Structure 1
């Protein structure tokens, strides 16, 4: 190989390593820096969808800890009230709740819920929107094995509802010339070239990433930060991975809130950053083969669980109980 070609490849490699090192140092610097005052920078209220469990619950608590009043949007009124009471009791901020089954978006019931959401935020200084609500089930299935309506529900929640809620909140941010929109994405679209047996889920999350990037470009000059935040490990994969890679929702939420306003696409948690970096070195064909094998294993487990629920065993128990 000619000397100039060696030099060329060495230069490309050095630039790639330098880029990775820069991103790592930037991440560490942000972790050490004093968090941004979200209330002063963006506004006194935040809207969050899907706040009753998991990452949504943790992010709602973290935003309240940062002093933001909250509009909580979810489908279960009892759970919404529980979250509202807990936030008021722990952090002393104001809360409002909007009952909205996002899977009904673009139906008569969904239009009525959207009207209630617009009424709830009317006159509020909404500075932050967190589109957290998402559906990843049914999963670990071939496309022909899934009922079409289940897939359409996923599309409506992950894609259509996210778009409509964002469109409802943006006009107020534009009038105030400030705001932040945070859309929760997925590592299935960022770090890996394929996510077999979760095809529709991965496709909807790819939409979230592209949608966020374009809105970032459109609205940055208007004082509005738009961002897609990515987590790398889903709950379905936790038991099959080394525990070091499993990060709880509270840790994810702390990192997520700290990263608001820092770029159009980010992986807030350092452990997930390292996973993303490692995944880039795996040849595509090996990654495809590994993920297909892992998801086929999940498919077998889920089929066993569904069968167990359909045929409970005696003594008031079931094989699901025994499996866990």
Structure 2
């Protein structure tokens, strides 16, 4: 005779209502996880891509001349959106603008060289940038601009000039650009804002060598 597993013996001693309750929780958990997997499969492989022009005909990208920001600029141009590119490097801005025009002649590109760590950055955002986007149907904002430490440092080792510049760029710059664009999005009733964060912001339990940067990218 095959011995009955102890867990089965234990279940047989429990009230039927309790067993049904626990079984229901287990089935609900399985169903919920299956639905999450199905939703991921749908979003990743089945759902048609969204037409970004439903948000607006223009996109604004900060930190747009290298890395992630540059990739966004070209992808948005590929989708047919006109671009406002903001970066601190004027020569790279002109170069990237020319490359986008060459590849996507129908796309209009406006550029603004802006150093977000400058003391004049906020006034230039509220002045030059607002004037540049006045009347434009800005539907997508990519807040990509960001800086970090020159190397790994504990909090007490970070010079004040480093963390002040980091806050100016990662927090104040992003916030003021968002404010400059958001009013128009609210008025039109549409728009999408993407803030580029960092894995440093979710390191568990902390990221002691990049504490200020991690906080600014949370």
Is the pair's TM-score, using the shorter chain for normalization, greater than 0.5?
Answer: yes
Distance 1:191 1:66, change over 3 A: farther
Distance 1:24 1:151, change over 3 A: farther
| Alpha-carbon RMSD | 2.6
Distance 1:116 1:79, change over 3 A: same
Q: Match for 1:69 among 41, 57, 82?
A: 82
Of structures 1 and 2, the larger Rg is shown by 2
For the 8 Å contact 2:146–2:170, the answer to whether it is kept is yes
1:152 and 2:159 equivalent?
no
C-alpha distance in structure 1 between counterparts of 2:203 and 2:35, whole Å? 18
Alignment of 1:217-296 (within 5 A): none
1:102 and 2:116 equivalent?
yes
For the 8 Å contact 1:101–1:110, the answer to whether it is kept is no
**Aligned twin of 1:168:** 180
C-alpha distance in structure 2 between counterparts of 1:78 and 1:128, whole Å? 24
Paired residue secondary structure (2:175): helix
Cα displacement (A) at 1:154: 1.0
Q: Which has the higher helix share?
A: 1
Q: Which TM-score applies when normalising by structure 1?
A: 0.56
Cα displacement (A) at 1:100: 0.9
In structure 2, stretches of 5+ residues that fail to align are: 1-6
Distance 1:19 1:191, change over 3 A: farther
Distance 1:137 1:28, change over 3 A: farther
**Aligned twin of 1:137:** 149
**Aligned twin of 1:52:** 65
Distance 1:167 1:200, change over 3 A: same
Q: Deviations for 1:23-62, whole angstroms, at most 9, x for unmatched residues? A: 44323212222110111x1110000000111111101111
Q: Match for 1:197 among 176, 184, 209?
A: 209
Aligned length: 201
1:35 and 2:49 equivalent?
yes
**Aligned twin of 1:83:** 96
Paired residue secondary structure (2:86): strand
For the 8 Å contact 2:140–2:192, the answer to whether it is kept is yes
Distance 1:13 1:82, change over 3 A: farther
Q: Match for 1:188 among 188, 200, 203?
A: 200
Paired residue secondary structure (2:60): strand
In structure 1, stretches of 5+ residues that fail to align are: 207-324
Q: Match for 1:177 among 177, 183, 189?
A: 189
C-alpha distance in structure 1 between counterparts of 2:31 and 2:198, whole Å? 25
C-alpha distance in structure 2 between counterparts of 1:111 and 1:9, whole Å? 62
Paired residue secondary structure (2:185): helix
Greater relative contact order (Cα < 8 A, sep 6+): 2
Paired residue secondary structure (1:181): strand
Paired residue secondary structure (1:98): strand
